[in-house]
Structure 1
Amino acid sequence: MQLYNKLSAEERAKLIEEAGKDRLTISFYQYAHIGNPEILRNHLFITWDALEVLGRIYVAKEGINAQLSVPAENFDAFKKHLDSITFLEGVRLNIAIEQDNKSFLKLKVKVRHKIVADGLDDNTFDVTDKGVHVDAVTFNELIEDPDTVLVDMRNHYESEIGHFKNAVTPDVDTFRDSLDIIEADLAPYKEDKKLVMYCTGGIRCEKASAYYKHKGFKNVYQLEGGIIEYTRQVRENDLENKFLGKNFVFDHRRGERISDDVIAHCHQCGAPCDVHTNCANEACHLLFIQCDSCKEKMDNCCSDACKEVNALPYEEQKELRRGKKASNKIFKKGRSEVLKFKR
């Protein structure tokens, strides 16, 4: 029984090019009580591999979180399979605003402790006891209400390139960092303010809504389907768009343009820019914002030191990386001191 990828990303990309067929980039999540995530994981991999689904999927006892790419011609079969799973029947699918046939190049279905890492050791709240879901029309009305506090539940590198007008954008690196900070900052408003939250596709603010209800907030709302679904509704129904800039996405595109506003700056020269890149030095791989001019000048690197390393022969670079880990730096997402114009 094959439960792993046989093709490399490069081999898969070549096959996609040769096939010349359209693919859809889709994300969805569902909180549910799953007894044996391992069995579900194996079932999903076997079925979706046969449908040529690619992507990153996490399964845990609290539910499923999926970001994937499926051939357009196989979408109906994929949807039929989802509907055959009791807790996924009719699940909302967020289809990407901008399509890319190579958004994912491998199928990875992993069992995790949680589908969203929250750092909580609290089993006394039910993650399915969520806040009120609102559509784009109601959301636009709510955020104009003076009794509303609008909170971005994403990380600083996401909100830096795009966010809703007048939103509170916590300066945090991870979702787990934001929960306690937001609770402390908004404690005075538990009784009389409307707490309205949003994120990319809804999964983080749904968990946060259950958590904050558990913590005593009386009026908790979340944007259903997140920024992705909001944008679809705005465009389909000709609504006023209150989102500025780009929506950060977790595939190789790193962003979808929602409005023409460029609200961020190149981390190296300060010029208006909202394009994320990873440092070309594999020993660094830091995520940061870089304009075209700096990209050319710095050879897609975040610093002169990384530029020097990246210019070395590949085997010499590998030797320099041997035994060293860069993960702590990678996930600081633009916090590096070498970046003069970081947020």
Structure 2
Amino acid sequence: MQLYNKLSAKERAALIDEAGKDRITISFYQYHQIKNPQIFRDKLFLEWNLLDVLGRTYVSYEGINAQISVPSENFLDLKEQLDSISFLKGIRLNVAIEHDNKSFLKLKVKVRNKIVADGLNDETFDVTNKGVHLNAKEFNKMLANPDTVCVDMRNHYESEIGHFDGAVTPDVDTFRDSLDIIEEDLKDHKEDKNLLMYCTGGIRCEKASAYYKHRGFKNVFQLEGGIIEYTRQVKEEGLENKFLGKNFVFDHRRAEKISEDVIANCHQCGKPCDTHTNCANEACHLLFIQCDECSEKMENTCSTDCQEIIHLSYEEQKELRKGKGNSNKIFKKGRSEKLKFKN
């Protein structure tokens, strides 16, 4: 019985090319009390593996968070499989704006303590006691309300390349960091302001809205389905798009273009650019923004030090990494003293 992925990314990419089938990238989440996450995890892996599902999914006692891709011809079978699970029946599936058959190259279903790493030890609030969900039209209307404070619940490297017009974008590395900052900034307006939140697909806002209600905020709202669903509704209903730039996504595509606005800059030369890349030095792997010219000049590295390292032999690079843990730069995405134009 196969319960784990056995193919490398390279092998899977070759199989996708060989199959020649279009794939759909989707995401969904659901907060729900799961009694035995490991059994549920194994069930999902077995069933999804048969449907050629790829992607990254987290299962915990508090629910499920999935970003996956599936061959178009298997989409209805996947939906039927999800509908057979009571708490996922009729679940909204956020379909990607831009498709890429190689958005994911492995199937990973992992058991985690939480489906959203929040760093909270407060078990007294009910995560299902969430704020009011708004569709795209309702969101635009509330965004225009002068008594509304709109907050981006994503991290700095996400909001840097795209965010809603007028939104507060906390300069944070983690979701947990933003919770305290927002509460402190709005502590005197818990009753007289509308707290309007958004994120990529809605999962972070769902938890944040419950948390802020628990902390005494009276008017808490969130964008249902996040930026992904907002964009779909804007296109289908002909609504005014209030999102500027790109939506950062956690797969090989890295981002989806929502508007033609380029609101970020190359971290190395400062010219307008919103293309993320990872440093070619495997010991660094820093996520940062790099334009085509700098990519060519720097050979897809973040610094001259890393550029020198990639020209060493594999054995020499391996020797340099020996005995060292992953660089902090990996986890401080887009933050390095060597990135001159990082805002």
Could you tell me the TM-score, scaled by structure 2's length? 0.99
Specify the SS of the correspondent of 1:30: strand
Whole-Å separation in 2 of the counterparts to 1:79 and 1:115: 21
The residue that corresponds to 2:315 in the other structure is: 315
State the distance in 2 between where 1:341 and 1:46 align.
46
> Mean alpha-carbon deviation: is it higher for 104-113 or for 327-336?
327-336
The reply on whether 1:25 has 2:25 as its aligned counterpart is: yes
Residue number in structure 1 paired with 2:125: 125
Inter-partner Cα distance in structure 2 for 1:226 and 1:323: 41
1:12 corresponds to = 12
Quote the residue 1:295 is aligned against: 295
* Counterpart in the other structure of 2:41: 41
Map of 2:193 onto structure 1: 193
Distance in 1 between the 2:305 and 2:245 partners? Answer: 32
Q: Which residue of 2 aligns with 1:102?
A: 102
1:338 maps to 2:341: no
Question: What's the offset of the Cα at 1:100?
Answer: 0.3
CA–CA distance in structure 1, aligned partners of residues 198 and 284 of structure 2:
31
Aligned partners of 2:25 and 2:325: how far apart in 1? 31
Tell me the residue number matched to 1:135.
135
Q: In the alignment, which residue of structure 2 is the partner of 1:145?
A: 145
**Do the aligned residues in 1 keep the contact of 2:30 with 2:64 (CA within 8 Å)?**
yes
CA distance in 1, matches of 2:311, 2:237: 51
**Within 2, Cα distance between the matches of 1:223 and 1:184?**
22
Backbone CA RMSD of aligned residues:
0.6
- Within 5 Å, which residues of 2 pair with 1:1-343? 1-343=1-343
SS in 1 for 2:11: helix
Question: Which runs of 5 or more structure 1 residues have no equivalent in the other structure?
Answer: none
Letter in 1 for 2:171: D
Q: 1:68 to 1:150 in 2, by over 3 A?
A: same
Structure 1 residue 327, shift from structure 2 partner: 4.5
Counterpart CA distance in 2 for 1:283 and 1:6 is 25
Cα distance in structure 2, aligned partners of 1:55 and 1:318: 29
The percent identity for this pair of structures is 77
Query: In structure 2, how many angstroms separate the alpha carbons of the residues matched to 1:122 and 1:156?
Result: 25
Residue 328 of structure 1: how far off its partner (Å) = 2.1
Q: Distance in 2 between matches of 1:134 and 1:260?
A: 25
The answer for unaligned runs of 5 or more in structure 2 is none
Distance 2:102 2:323 in 1: 31
- Partner SS, residue 99 of structure 1: coil
Give the letter aligned to residue 265 of structure 1.
N
DSSP-derived class of the 1:69 partner: strand
Q: Report the secondary structure of 1:151's partner residue.
A: strand
Distance 1:5 1:138 in 2: 42
1-side partners of 2:236 and 2:323: how far apart? 52
Instruction: Name the SS for the 1:326 alignment partner.
Output: coil
Opposite residue 264 of structure 1, the aligned amino acid is A
* Structure 2 Cα separation of the partners of residues 287 and 326 of structure 1: 14
1:204 partner amino acid: R
In 1, are the aligned partners of 2:283 and 2:327 still within 8 Å (CA)?
Answer: no
Amino acid at match of 2:342: K
Deviation at 1:329, TM superposition (A): 1.4
Paired residue total:
343
- CA shift, 1:321, in A, is 1.1
Please report the TM-score for the alignment, with normalisation by the length of structure 1.
0.99
